[in-house]
Chain A
């Protein structure tokens, strides 16, 4: 297709009536449009689950508060957790992978465009099905609507004796459906990376983002399948008289825990590895240096992928495993810290001797490094099984995993938004609003989640809708709630930035950051076919080679 054809096509697009445009988005199989759909859908659920978090925080503002009933509170934390993991973090990361992977490997689309659309709509259907439970389900003792069994849905709380209504079914079915979507996308990412790389892009020349998404997709295949199996077993228990998890009839509640966490822990890495991927692209560009130790970064990622499959029972140190099992899961969990540490060191190594530009994506990246360091260290604390006997199921754990998911994953995602939004829309996000967003969110985050460690050390368990006065928890919880609202304001600034910049932002041009990977060689936003001619690469940084013909990377390749 020539550039003339493209120009004609653009004119057509602008003149399309609204219905036609919507029809175009609904029926699209373009990886970029699907990527944006994933991201938009995840942002919608981010706002919904964020509001649920605020309801939780208002309720816990002081002891014996009665802002919501225990039934509503239990639904809120169940829906908040389920939504954030399955309908915010997963789709938003799939969205970025969808958008970026083909562009970064010089491909024109994903390997299976129709499967791609099918996977997206399955995931989207799962999310809407879950929220339909507010109208259709009924929870513990028929008390509620939405699921109220916690996002792990531990047996036997999900047995019909304890959850006689349909709320647990909504939870099960929505995760089953979106799980199939995730598996489809994972297969697609694997096939795309393995089969559609442009000429010259050997595996060891792929951008790290592509490598890390390859590992992520492999882990999705391994992690989601046991979860789907467990969901089916739970349905058999509930409707076909099975007794897998029904302890009253000789089943095993602990079996569910194993199934859930053998999904649940790799899932953490499924979420964080794409964020490592963002860091590995953004930190080099804003430090003006190539990533430090590329082969080691790849090896560390693959290593994390493997070791993280054998750490799941560190979520179960309190369920009464024997001392050998507890020791085993202590050593494997601590071992994950080694490759993770290597990554942090290599990112600092990338910044070392560079020329660091403090644009908003880099600010969020530095925030990521700081918080992820702390999250890793509190993770080491809980890997020590006896320490975990105190910390597990307390607010310390809640603080720890929010450090990973908000301080790590969300900060990395914000960095990715500021970095790739210009590519996706053709407009820059406002730096001024971006800095407001960063500082507000950073302060709110630390007020909430740094402080949140302490009530855990003072014996406050998680998932309680109220607590007794006089235990030293009141002031801390008030600070945590204030922090949550500061974060909410920061999110509003972010959303405002997304909207305002879409219409009024500076024009981005092809390559606003002077970056080195292939997506910056095409227009912003890229045409439907991505590249007019399929690129040929000779090194890991094809655009560096182009910009520095006197000293190309390909010379050392």
Chain B
């Protein structure tokens, strides 16, 4: 910049740049803080897409880094040109009455800023197409676990056809060892409206659409709980259609599978509660393996107590929450399709006692 002739102008520009700096800082601090908030390798409370733990999510992250680098460079170049033009070619004192040279265009320059972007687009496209192919057209190995996920207003049904397991909301899958990969392949269906399956650290999202089967896969590299939730607006309680994926070691997964394959425990001590369950509307929607209850509208309750949450992750699976959920579901999840069961205290206690035996 040339010397400034007027101090007031200088002050004005200092103010403008100061304000710009404030804006950038205000935007930048939470950005950095947000991305650093999670502890890599620690717990997965924050489902950060930049901390992938599975091959598809990892391929996406690598592509993202590349795209961010290219777009970042474009930003720096164009932003610098803009700022330079704004500062350098501002109206200065004493020139107000002279019109600048009237330039109408330049074929060479315009050709340059047409061709360079075209080349950038070609490079970006090739990098992208490679990842699209790698993720979407990946072959399914014989050792893959197959699961059918069915979206319901506002909960998830998981069926393991090869293992004869039906569960809900909390998906258990084995960790995949690169030496002997056991990726999980999901078939995605919907029982009603559109939903979307999204565990940011394990894979990109894929929609569950009625009458339009989809598929996706993931091969988690380490054990732990991974969080996500429905990403496609599906109705009133879209917000509390949460997802938990428990990635288990092969040993834990085997134990979980054996436990889930057992029929429901039949404990004579809670026969009163079981009678309440089987003689009220509960069985219209819920199933308990090995009993008369075989409804499909709501989650399968055969091993209810093996889950950490109820109401698709909206509440912890505790005795108090079970009571509240049965008597007044709107207190936990207003607009959910679970009806208030209107039981008297005696029946409610018996019913909750019965449910608590469904290990």
Contact = CB atoms under 8 A, between A and B. Distances in A.
Given A320-B212, A393-B205, A454 B46 contact: no
B94 to A, nearest CB: 11
Interface in B303-332: 313
Interface in A451-489: 451, 453-455, 457-459, 461-468, 470-472, 475-476, 479
Contact of A389 (B99, B194, B206, B334): B206
A331 interface: yes
B31 A345 contact: no
Given A247-B211, A354-B100, A380-B71, A334 B82 contact: no
Contacts of A352: 85, 89
Q: Is the interface of B mostly helix, strand, loop or mixed?
A: mixed
Given A337-B121, A468-B242, A470-B45, A393 B196 contact: yes
A391 B78 CA distance: 24
Interface string B221-242: 0000001111111111111101
Contacts of A319: 207, 209, 212, 214
Interface in A402-453: 439, 442-443, 446-447, 450-451, 453
Given A296-B110, A475-B30, A289 B71 contact: no
A386 interface: yes
A252 B194 CA distance: 11
B35 A349 contact: no
Interface stretch (A69-77, A269-277, A491-499, A530-538): A69-77
B109 interface: yes
A2 B133 CA distance: 72
Contact of A140 (B19, B235, B239, B334): B235
B334 A386 contact: no
A341 B117 contact: yes
Nearest to B205: A318
Nearest to A254: B212
A54 interface: no
Interface in A119-176: 140-141, 143, 148-150, 154, 156-157, 162
Contact of B89 (A334, A351, A556): A351
Contacts, number: 324
Contacts of B229: 461, 464
A373 B79 contact: yes
Interface stretch (B60-68, B158-166, B251-259, B267-275): B60-68
A448 B192 CA distance: 34
A461 B199 CA distance: 11
Contact of B117 (A252, A296, A337, A470): A337
Where chain A touches its partner, the secondary structure class is: helix
Contact of A458 (B23, B46, B128): B46
A341 B117 CA distance: 8
Contacts of A290: 102-104
Given A458-B34, A461-B229, A370 B79 contact: yes
A352 B89 CA distance: 7
B131 A450 contact: no
A342 B335 contact: no
B67 A387 contact: yes
B49 A467 contact: no
Contact of B198 (A369, A388, A459, A467): A459
A225 interface: no
Contacts of A386: 59-60, 63, 128, 131-132, 135, 204
A22 interface: no
Nearest to A320: B214
A500 interface: no
Given A348-B85, A356-B89, A385-B132, A457 B59 contact: no
Nearest to B52: A390
A384 to B, nearest CB: 4
Contacts of A29: none
A247 B227 contact: no
Given A330-B129, A387-B67, A289 B102 contact: yes
B102 A457 contact: no
A346 interface: yes
A301 B186 CA distance: 43
A458 B211 contact: no
A289 B100 contact: yes
Interface in B87-127: 89-92, 95-96, 98-106, 109-110, 113-114, 117-118, 121, 124-125, 127
Nearest to A471: B46
Contacts of B204: 318, 386, 388-390
Interface string B43-76: 0011111100000010110011001100100110
Nearest to B88: A352
A556 B104 contact: yes
Contacts of B240: 466
A344 interface: yes
Given A296-B105, A370-B79, A373-B79, A69 B63 contact: no
A253 B235 contact: no
A479 B30 CA distance: 9
Contacts of A442: 23
Contacts of B284: none
A465 B214 contact: no
A326 B71 contact: no
A213 interface: no
A355 interface: yes
Contacts of A446: 23, 26-27
Contacts of B124: 334, 380, 384
B210 A253 contact: yes
Contact of A330 (B78, B128, B313): B128
Interface of A: 69-71, 74, 140-141, 143, 148-150, 154, 156-157, 162, 247-248, 250-254, 287-290, 292-296, 318-320, 322-323, 326-327, 330-331, 334-335, 337-338, 341-342, 344-346, 348-349, 351-358, 366, 369-370, 373-374, 377-378, 380-381, 383-394, 439, 442-443, 446-447, 450-451, 453-455, 457-459, 461-468, 470-472, 475-476, 479, 548, 551, 553, 556
Given A461-B198, A467-B239, A551-B102, 18 more contacts: A70-B237, A71-B236, A150-B233, A156-B192, A292-B106, A296-B110, A318-B206, A320-B215, A346-B110, A355-B95, A358-B91, A373-B78, A373-B79, A387-B67, A389-B205, A446-B23, A458-B48, A475-B30
6 contacts: A74-B236, A287-B100, A327-B133, A443-B23, A451-B30, A464-B238
Q: Which 5 A-B pairs have the closest CB atoms?
A: A389-B204, A459-B47, A464-B239, A247-B210, A320-B214
